[in-house]
Amino acid sequence: MPAGPDVPAEQVRVPRQGAVPSPAQALGQDDLSGRAATEPVPGPTLIPEPEAPRPEERSAGPARAVRFEPSGERRDPAPVSERSTAVLPVPEIPDADRRRRARAEQRRRAAAETKRSRAARRQGLAYRERPVPAPVRAADQHRSALVIMVLTLGLLIAAVAVTGGMIASSMRTQPVTLAAPLHVYPVTQAMPGQCPAGTPGITGQASTGVTCYRLAQGIAIHKVADLRVQKSRGSSPGYDVALTLRPVDRHAFARLTGATVGRDLAFVVRDRLITLPRVDMPIRDGKVVVTGSPTRAAANTLVHELKGR
């Protein structure tokens, strides 16, 4: 029959033999597809919220792990074996090694004591903490004696050197007084024979015979700083006479030799011609060297004649 427009058609499920069960039925759950529309559907189960812990339980401290022990089966703790340190045998040290170590330790202590004592002395303090060992004291005394001996020897050498220098200086600076004045004249002319009366000259003996030497104005020396014989310093063997003038005579002698370079100078003592050296260059330091004496005896004779003796 045809249905009216206001009444909905009702669908009826007809079970069939040999039908396949639904997935819900296979899992053992209720099949909601066959329920009526008005039948309530079971909802989710509500689980009550756990209660908050009490304040006294919160402050009890952190949770601890507790071992579960069934009642009636309580076990006693296993006994802990007592531990002990094993004593090892100490090797026996030979007597020689023991003595050597003792000596090394004594030397080390003595060295440390000496170092501390020296540091205290450098700071100006007296080190009195502990007595100084006898070996250290003996070493210090030996070192002090050695230093004193070296200082004494050095002072003695210095005194001898200073005394010798003073003696040598006094001998060099002590003037030599001449018995007669030493006159030094420039030679202007040499003529054979005796000098005529009234001629400003002096007669002397030359290699060619008697010769008259005409002289110009010269200087007179009364004292010299040094007058001695020395070995010749030139290529020819022989001896020289070294004459050192005083500072007061050096300037006049320098002017005299500067004007007579290449000529002869007449050394006259008591109106007698002693020597006739040639001037090679001006002598400004006051050191005169008269060469030409073949032997030391001849040089000594010349020194005595220059002294006026």
- Is the predicted pLDDT of residue 64 greater than 80, yes or no? no
pLDDT-above-70 percentage for the chain: 63
Mean pLDDT of all residues in 202-212:
89
Dihedrals phi, psi of 82, to nearest 5 degrees? -70, 130
pLDDT at 309: 79
Tell which wins on pLDDT, 12 or 47.
47
Q: Check if the beta carbon of residue 243 is closer than 8 Å to that of residue 225.
A: no
Inter-CA distances, 131 with 108, 109, 126, 137, Å = 16, 12, 12, 10
Mean pLDDT of all residues in 200-204:
90
- Is the predicted pLDDT of residue 14 greater than 50, yes or no? no
49-58, 145-154, 161-170, 218-227 — which is least confidently predicted?
A: 49-58
Mean pLDDT of all residues in 236-258:
91
Tell whether domain 175-306 is in CATH 3.30.1360.200.
Answer: yes
pLDDT at 51: 57
- Is the predicted pLDDT of residue 156 greater than 90, yes or no? no
Q: How many CB atoms lie within 10 A of CB 203?
A: 16
* First CA to last CA distance, the chain: 199
What sign does the CA torsion over 245, 250, 256, 262 have? positive
Band the pLDDT of 63: cuts 50, 70, 90. very low
Q: List the domain boundaries for the chain.
A: 102-173, 175-306
- Is the predicted pLDDT of residue 255 greater than 90, yes or no? yes
pLDDT at 172: 55
In three state form, how does the secondary structure of the chain look? CCCCCCCCCCCCCCCCCCCCCCHHHHCCCCCHHHCCCCCCCCCCCCCCCCCCCCHHHHCCCCCCCCCCCCCCCCCCCCCCCCCCCCCCCCCCCCHHHHHHHHHHHHHHHHHHHHHHHHHHHHCCCCCCCCCCCHHHHHHHHHHHHHHHHHHHHHHHHHHHHHHHHHHHHHHHHCCEEEEEEEEEEEEEEEEECCCCCCCCEEEEEECCEEEEEEECCCEEEEEECEEEEEECCCCCCCEEEEEECCHHHHHHHHHHHHHCCCCEEEEEECCEEEECCECCCCCCCCEEEEEEECCHHHHHHHHHHHCCC
pLDDT at 23: 55
- Is the predicted pLDDT of residue 117 greater than 50, yes or no? yes
Round the average pLDDT of the chain to a whole number and report it.
75
What are 244's strand-pairing partners?
Answer: 226, 287
Q: In terms of DSSP bridges, do strands 201-206 and 209-215 run parallel, antiparallel, or are they unpaired?
A: antiparallel
Rounded Cα distance between 61 and 214, Å, is 143
24-28, 214-218, 285-289, 296-300 — which is least confidently predicted?
A: 24-28
Rounded Cα distance between 159 and 161, Å, is 5
Residue at 189: amino acid letter: Q
124-138, 152-166, 213-227 — which is least confidently predicted?
A: 124-138
pLDDT at 9: 47
pTM greater than 0.85 (yes/no) = no
pLDDT tens digits for 178-198? 999 999 999 999 999 999 888
Q: Check if the beta carbon of residue 257 is closer than 8 Å to that of residue 282.
A: yes
pLDDT at 308: 87
Inter-CA distances, 32 with 12, 35, 233, 305, Å = 15, 5, 153, 171
pLDDT tens digits for 267-309? 999 999 999 999 999 999 999 999 888 899 999 999 999 998 7
pLDDT at 208: 84
Tell which wins on pLDDT, 133 or 209.
209
Rounded Cα distance between 201 and 196, Å, is 9
pLDDT at 256: 93
What sign does the CA torsion over 154, 160, 166, 172 have? negative
Band the pLDDT of 12: cuts 50, 70, 90. very low
Q: Check if the beta carbon of residue 162 is closer than 8 Å to that of residue 180.
A: no
